[in-house]
Amino acid sequence: MKRYFKTFTGVLWIGAFILVFLVFAGGAFAAGARPIAVGVGNAFEPYAYIDADNQPAGYDVAVLKAVDERLSQYEFSFESMEFKNLLLSIDAGKLDIATQQFETNPERAAKYLFTTEGFANYDKRLIVKKGRTDIKTIGDLAGKRVAVGSGTNSAAILEKYNAEHGAKIEIVYQGTTQVYYDNLVNGRIDAAVMTRRVFNRTNEALGGGMDIVEDGLFSKSDAYFILAKNETQLRDDIDAALREMKKDGTLTKLSLEYTGKDYQAD
Amino acid sequence: MTFDSVYVWVSLKAALRCLHVTLLLSIVSLVLGMVLGTPLALCRKFRVRFAAQAADVLIPVLKGIPLVLYVLILNFAILKPLDALAESCAWADKLRLMDKIYIGLAALSAYSAVIVSETMRSALNSVPEGQYEACFSVGLTRGQALRRVIMPQALAFAVPVLCNNFIGLIKGSSIVYVIEILDVLGGAMASAQVSYRFLEAYIAAALVYWVLCAGAGRGSKILEKRFAGR
């Protein structure tokens, strides 16, 4: 019994030491630079995801880390969360920056601050089952079932289109990637919306049953970082760092490393 | 961005337009769960050969699988064979384009059958062994004993637990968004896509679920009183 008690107190001591160490380490960390909490999406390879070591990873994270290196007055810390909760956490003041290849639109711009510099091309195209040719533009989607992610800009575009044209497109909010790929290839869904890069990756990973519509874009856009409305100074600093990184080739290098393509290419 | 209750109202209306989906999913799966789960429990109670042994092995396994996996696994288990058959059979080609709500119903019902069978088993066990012996001693058959003596007592015990199972199914049915069924939660989320008022939409959906579950709780109280009265 006594032996067990000794082991138990030993564990307690070790725990106490770890706690003290963490508090001191945290204190040393925070001194000087202003801490900035960055929220990163958790399920969007290769941009924003959780790596094998449970850490936020991807192109978005790499770009922000490079930005942080250029800005000694800030100390970025990264945290992964689900896409829809990124914006909610900015609302709640828990995050200073959110990123998962966010596109801008008037509704979002009214509520959040966007960096003026984009950091990735985000043109989107329609995706159909391999060999299908009857869908070219958003106008061809009337009466069709179209899969988009909840909370994405594509969803907003389709919902707005329906509101303006009197509910024509049947919008399907996609569950997991495997489910909607299976649906698209087997005709349960008529179309999806993706960037060329995401299309290439998804199509290759899941069996190559999809085609990308080459003529005409679904939407033309770039990806930006999202900040809380009052962070204009932080935005200007990030913009300056991004401009520098575009000029000296850092952004191209990171983009090639993570996505296999230049950040300007679709 | 500040909280704006106007959007809760907007999302609430959108959520209520999909109310029938959530009701259908939860009520049908409860009823099917009882139809399938009660015989399972009886098989185990009366040690029906083969069925009891199979249930003894399978139910603890099935009990340990999360609902979301029932939904995802059944989605592929139902659709993959149909997709493969579609080339040669016209009926399979038609069937594979069915409304996904049927897959949701199948998944929730299977889950519910497992849960309800456990509820009914404990309800049957709650009736003292002496009651069974008394029935048989006056010459009742097993069916008569169940119908007239055992089940009325077991149900009185089962009703509050079944109600809890039902509430679990109402809330659990919200997981069907993973196979693209638009239920109360999905309807509320769809209304927030342009405005990005997701917090308001979550709250609207929560209100609907809360009212549904509170109603189920009320219904259970009334049923409990009726069973206690006899």
Q: Does A91 touch chain B (CB under 8 A)?
A: yes
Contact B79 A155 (CB under 8 A): no
A150 contacts B195? CB cut-off 8 A: no
Q: Which residue has the tokens 């638009």?
A: B182
A145 contacts on B by Cβ (under 8 Å) = none
A112 and B CB contact within 8 Å = yes
Optimal mutation site among B101, B194, B197, interface A, most CBs of chain A within 10 A: B194
Q: Which of B180, B196, B199 sits opposite A179 (nearest CB)?
A: B180
Give A254's contacts (C-beta < 8 A, 6+ positions apart). A59, A62, A63, A66, A263
pLDDT digits (tens, 9 = 90+) for A22-46: 666 655 555 578 999 999 999 888 8
How many CB atoms lie under 10 A from the CB of residue B187?
Answer: 25
CA distance A147 to A182: 12
In the A/B pair of chains, how many CB contacts fall below 8 A?
Answer: 70
**Cα separation, A70 vs A241, whole angstroms:** 6
Q: Identify the three-state secondary structure at position A212.
A: strand
pLDDT at position B150 is 93
C-alpha A40/C-alpha A62 separation (Å) is 11
Q: Residue B198 is nearest to which of A84, A112, A182, comparing CB atoms?
A: A84
Q: Which domains are assigned to chain A? A: 32-121+223-259 (3.40.190.10), 124-212 (3.40.190.10)
Which tokens hold the place of A38? Answer: 């960055």
pLDDT band at A14 (very low <50, low <70, confident <90, very high): confident
Selecting from A173, A174, A229 the residue whose C-beta is nearest the C-beta of B190 gives A173
Of A170-184, B15-29, B107-121, the range with the lowest mean pLDDT is A170-184
B92 touches chain A (CB under 8 A): no
Q: Which residues of B touch A179 (CB under 8 A)?
A: 72, 75, 178-180
Q: Does A84 touch chain B (CB under 8 A)?
A: yes
Nearest-Cα distance to chain A for B193, in Å, is 5
Segment 52-71 of chain B within 8 Å of chain A by CB = none
Give residue A263's pLDDT: 84
Question: Are B53 and B129 within 8 A, CB to CB?
Answer: no
Instruction: Select the residue of A87, A108, A186 nearest B198 (Cβ to Cβ).
Output: A87
Q: Is the confidence at residue B106, as pLDDT, over 60?
A: yes
The answer to whether residues A129 and A183 touch, using CB atoms and an 8 Å cutoff, is no
**Chain B CA closest to residue A85:** B198
**Minimal Cβ distance to A87: which of B80, B97, B196:** B196
For testing the chain A interface, which of B99, B196, B203 should be mutated: the one with the most A CBs within 10 Å? Answer: B196
pLDDT greater at residue A20 or residue A99: A99
Tell whether B195 lies on the interface with A, counting CB pairs under 8 A. Answer: yes
Torsion of CA A205, A210, A216, A221, to 10 degrees: -30
Chain B residues in contact with A175 (beta carbon < 8 A): 177-180
Asked if A109 has any chain B CB less than 8 Å from its own CB, the reply is no
Residue A256 Cα, gap to closest chain B Cα (Å): 32
Question: What is the DSSP code (8-state) at residue A112?
Answer: S
- What confidence score (pLDDT) does residue B170 get? 97
- Put simply, the answer to whether B196 touches A160 (Cβ < 8 Å) is no
pLDDT at A18 over 80: no
pLDDT single digits (tens) B150-171: 999 999 999 999 999 999 999 9
- Give the integer Cα–Cα distance in Å for B83 and B67: 24
* Averaged pLDDT for residues A201-216: 89
What is the per-residue pLDDT for A23? 65
Q: Is A167 on the interface with B (CB under 8 A)?
A: no
Q: Between A235 and B195, name the one with better pLDDT.
A: A235
For the ranges A16-25, A47-56, A162-171, the maximum mean pLDDT occurs at: A47-56
Residues 148-177, chain B, touching A (beta carbon < 8 A): 177
Give tens-digit pLDDT for B47-81. Answer: 999 999 999 999 999 999 999 999 999 999 999 99
CA distance A146 to A129: 12
* pLDDT of B1 higher than 60: no
**CA of A134: how far to CAs of A142, A191, A250, in Å?**
12, 11, 41
Q: Using 50, 70 and 90 to split pLDDT, how confident is the model at A152?
A: confident
Partners of residue A186 in chain B, C-beta under 8 Å: 79, 83, 86, 96
For the stretch B6-43, pLDDT in tens is 899 999 999 999 999 999 999 999 999 999 999 999 99
Listed residue (B209, B205, B21, B26) closest to B111, CA to CA: B26
In the predicted structure, residue B219 carries a pLDDT above the cut 80: yes
How much is the pLDDT for A27?
53
Provide, rounded to the nearest whole percent, the portion of chain A with pLDDT above 70: 94
Share above pLDDT 90 across residues of chain B, in percent, rounded to a whole number: 79
- The confidence score (pLDDT) of residue A111 equals 85
Cα(first)–Cα(last) distance of chain B, in Å?
Answer: 57
Residue B229 predicted with pLDDT over 60: yes
Confidence (pLDDT) at A137: 87
Q: Which residues of A touch B186 (CB under 8 A)?
A: 173
Q: What is the pLDDT of residue B43?
A: 94
Angle formed by the axes of helices B198-229 and B151-172, nearest 10°: 180
Does the pLDDT of residue A19 top 80, yes or no?
A: no
Asked if residue A7 has pLDDT above 80, the reply is no
pLDDT confidence bin for A99, thresholds 50/70/90: very high
